[in-house]
Amino acid sequence: MNIVITGGAGFLGARLARALLQQGKFSVNGQAAQTIGQITLVDQFQPPADLLADPRVRACVGDLNALLTPTVQGVPAVPAGTDVVYHLAAAVSAECEADFDLGLRSNLAPTQALLAACRTLGTQPVVVFASSLAVFGLPAEAEVPSPWVVSDQTLPTPQTSYGIQKFIGEQLMADYTRKGYIRGRSARLMTVSVRPGKPNGAASGFFSGMVREPLAGLKGACPVSRQVEVALSSPNRTIEGLLRVGQATDAEWGPRTAINMPALVTTVGEMAAALERVAGPGATALIDWTPDENIRRIVRSWPGRVESPRANDMGLYPDPDFDTVIRAYAHENQHAVKWPISG
């Protein structure tokens, strides 16, 4: 069993690789699970040292578009014998909104090139595309419904460059699947929180930063109001979902190639309250509530409540509450937590 992960050196990609290596085997379409022989991590950066130390890991480092360009030896990023591809590599929302060409170069072109490479394999590999709830949106002048709920049947109407690029990726996945070139599965990921490390360029990054930075004794920005609803998923539940999607049978997946992943529905104010319950008022005092209209405008266009009946039918469910999410982050990142954690 040979697996490719684009964005394999990133937070989710590296976490997925570790989970696959620990699992050791992988099942495609209900067949007997096969031993994982190789995981190719494709990224512009080197993977973490612990992954490189595993003999089953192959690093393919460089510009993704170049690595997906066919050569006489084949496509470097998608070697012959690839059974499963997880396409996680992407430029994030605020970056794409600020730099239109970056989004086309980083999100649209590589997705099309990757699918073309998978087609040339001639083996109908499973391809899991990390899509986003940003495929849903409201125009700036539209009134936000209360509550605003989207389901697997809701028509995507993205309102950002990032969301549009993800939706185009979903449609490419659907067409390559319809033609029999791949088994395509587009998983609409929720906002992942709490992410460790430094802030990135995602408009949703503050949903992690407003917790991560205060836990470390630093100021953390929250540029939207406490009333804003958000659909979240912890890193653990996100990886659990990606693994399940990749191993779902065709019958379990059904004819529609895109599904909503499970979401913990909460508000920014409830997130702050959870932080105070877990880490105390000293932590929440470090949240900076200075508004940012650009971030507010992007976040406003996303739904706050997401239903995921198809994912539920596959045994996937959201985190129980945000307190649990914060405690899991604190347990995994004790070096980055200043405050005593309750519970």
- Residue 90's pLDDT band (boundaries 50, 70, 90)? very high
**How much is the pTM?**
0.94
| Confidence check: pLDDT of 96 > 90 | no
Judged by DSSP in three states, 265 sits in strand
Q: Which helix (H) or strand (E) holds 282?
A: helix 281-284
CA distance 339 to 227: 26
For the domain made up of 2-193+233-260, the CATH class stated in words is alpha beta
With cut-offs at 50, 70 and 90, classify the pLDDT of residue 314. very high
Burial class of residue 68, CB neighbours in 10 A (0-12, 13-18, 19+):
buried
Can you tell me which residue has the tokens 């009333």?
227
How far apart (Å, rounded) are the C-alpha atoms in residues 81 and 179? 20
pLDDT the model gives residue 58: 96
**C-alpha distances in Å from residue 45, one per residue of 89, 147, 243, 251:** 12, 41, 23, 37
| C-alpha distances in Å from residue 123, one per residue of 80, 118, 128 | 10, 8, 15
Q: What is the mean pLDDT of residues 131-152?
A: 83
The whole-number pLDDT of residue 146 equals 66
Whether the pLDDT of residue 142 is over 80: the answer is: no
Could you give the CA distance from residue 222 to residue 233 in angstroms, rounded to a whole number?
18
Model confidence band, residue 156 (pLDDT cutoffs 50, 70, 90): very high
* Per-residue pLDDT at 148: 77
Q: In whole angstroms, what is the distance from residue 209 CA to residue 222 CA?
A: 8
Look at residue 71 in the predicted model and tell me its pLDDT: 84
DSSP state of 69: S
The answer to whether the CB of 42 falls within 8 A of the CB of 67 is yes
Whether the per-residue pLDDT at 5 is higher than 90: the answer is yes
**What is the distance between the alpha carbons of residues 251 and 103, in angstroms, rounded to a whole number?**
34
- Beta strands 287-288 and 220-221: pairing type? parallel
pLDDT band with cut points at 50, 70 and 90 for residue 97: confident
Q: Which of 77-91, 133-147, 297-311 is modeled with the greatest confidence?
A: 77-91
Between 236 and 147, whose confidence is greater? 236
Which pLDDT band, with edges at 50, 70 and 90, does 299 fall under? Answer: confident
Domain boundaries along the sequence of the chain = 2-193+233-260, 203-229+264-304+320-334
Mean pLDDT across the chain, nearest whole number? 93
Please name which of 141, 165, 188, 129 lies closest in space to residue 316, comparing C-alpha atoms.
188
Mean pLDDT for 201-216 is 91
* 300 vs 44 pLDDT, higher one: 44
What positions carry a catalytic annotation? 162
What is the CATH superfamily name and number for domain 203-229+264-304+320-334?
Answer: UDP-galactose 4-epimerase, domain 1 (3.90.25.10)
pLDDT beyond 80 at 104 = yes
Q: Per-residue pLDDT for 144 more than 80?
A: no
Residue 296 in tokens: 């507010």
Is 211 within 8 Å of 275 (Cβ atoms)?
yes
The pLDDT-based confidence of 140 (bands split at 50, 70, 90) is: confident
55-59, 71-75, 197-201, range with greatest mean pLDDT: 55-59
Burial-class residue 91 by CB neighbours within 10 Å (0-12, 13-18, 19+).
buried
> Which uninterrupted H or E stretch holds 188?
strand 183-189
